[in-house]
Amino acid sequence: MPKIYKSLTIAGLDVSGEAGMNADLKTFEEFGVYGMTAMTVIVACNPRNNWSHDIYPISLEIIEKQLETVCEGVGIDSLKTGMLGSKNLVELVANTIKNHNLKNIVVDPVLVCKGIDEIMVPDAAKAIKNLLIPLADVVTPNSFEAAYLADMEKVETIDEAEEAARKIYQLGAKNVVIKVGSRIEIENYIDIHFDGKNFTHHKSPKLNDVYNPGAGCTFSAAIAANLAKNLPVSEAVKIAKNYVNQCLQSSFKLNQYTGSLKHWK
Ligand code: PXL
C-alpha cells in the first residue's frame, strides 16, 4: 500500500460549499491526499438579504479538541489555515504548530471576506502578522492582504507587489505568494512567488463570466496538498496555480448571487 499523505485545514465552514474547508477538502481529494479539519467558524448566507454573510464562531475549547484529535491523535504531513476569527485562536494555532513541531505550513491570511476590503477582525489580523506569518512555509495573501501585512498603503502594481513580498518575507515567512489577480488592471492574473532570493511570476489569462468564490482557499489547499506529498514549494505553487485556473474555467452558478469553482475533473 503506498503511503497515504494527510493534510489538515484549520478554516471556516462555508455552508454553501464554495469556500473555506469545503473547498479545501475537495481540493485535497483531487490531489489524492487525506483531508482532516478543525472548524473555526460557520459562515451562513442569507437568501432573504442579498446573500449577506453571517459568521458564527466555534468556541476555542472545541477548536482545541479538534486540533488535539488531528495533530496528536493522527498526525499530518501539512496544514493550511483559512478564516481564523480571533486573536486567541491565532495564538492557539501558533502554539499547536510549535508544540507538535508541525511541518509544511501554508497560511492563507484571510483578513477580508468576498468583495469587502475591510479587515474583519483587527486583533486577529495583527496576531496573524506577528505570530503565524513567522511560522509559515508559504503565505498566500491577495493584494489587499499583502498591503496590510507589508504595512503599505496599497498594492496595485507589480512593483508594489514585489516590494510587499520582500516585506512579508522579512516577517519570517519562507515563501510569499501574492495573488495580484483581479484587483490590478493587467491582462493576466499574476501570482508573484518570492522565496527570499528570486521572484517567479505565474500568469494565467483573465477569465470572464466565471465564479471565483473560494479560489484563494482552493489555491492554498492545493499548495498544502502538494507539500504533503513532499513536492518542493516552487512545484507545489505551479501545480496549484494550474489547478485553480482549471477549476475557474469550469466554474458554475449556484443561485442568483453566487457560484462555485468546479473542483473535480
Ligand atoms: O474566501 C474567503 C473565505 C474563507 N473561508 C470561509 C469563507 C470565505 C468567504 O466567504 O466563507 C469559510
Domain 6-260 in CATH 3.40.1190.20? The answer is yes
Q: How far is the CA of 165 from the centre of ligand 1 (A)?
A: 23
Q: Whose CA is nearest to atom 6 of ligand 1?
A: 20
Q: Which of 44-58, 109-123, 127-141, 244-258 has the lowest mean pLDDT?
A: 109-123
CA distances from 20 to 83, 107, 108, 142, 227 (A): 7, 13, 11, 15, 19
Mean pLDDT of 186-190: 81
Q: How far is the CA of 198 from the centre of ligand 1 (A)?
A: 30
Cross-strand bridge partners of residue 192: 178, 201
Give the model's confidence band at 185: pLDDT under 50 very low, under 70 low, under 90 confident, else very high. Answer: low
Total-model pTM:
0.97
Percent of the chain predicted with pLDDT > 70: 97
Q: What is the pLDDT of residue 182?
A: 60
Percent of the chain predicted with pLDDT > 90: 87
Ligand 1 atom with minimal separation from the 213 CA: 1
For residue 115, pLDDT over 70 is answered with no
Q: How far is the CA of 82 from the centre of ligand 1 (A)?
A: 8
Q: How far is the CA of 1 from the centre of ligand 1 (A)?
A: 36
**Pocket probe mutation, ligand 1, options 25, 45, 83, max atoms within 8 Å of Cβ:** 83
Enumerate the domain spans of the chain: 6-260
Q: How far is the CA of 114 from the centre of ligand 1 (A)?
A: 7
**Does residue 261 line the site of ligand 1, with CB under 6 A?**
no
For residue 116, pLDDT over 80 is answered with no
SS3 62: helix
Amino acid letter for position 230: N
**Does residue 30 line the site of ligand 1, with CB under 6 A?**
no
In whole angstroms, what is the distance from residue 113 CA to residue 45 CA? 12
Q: What is the pLDDT of residue 248?
A: 96
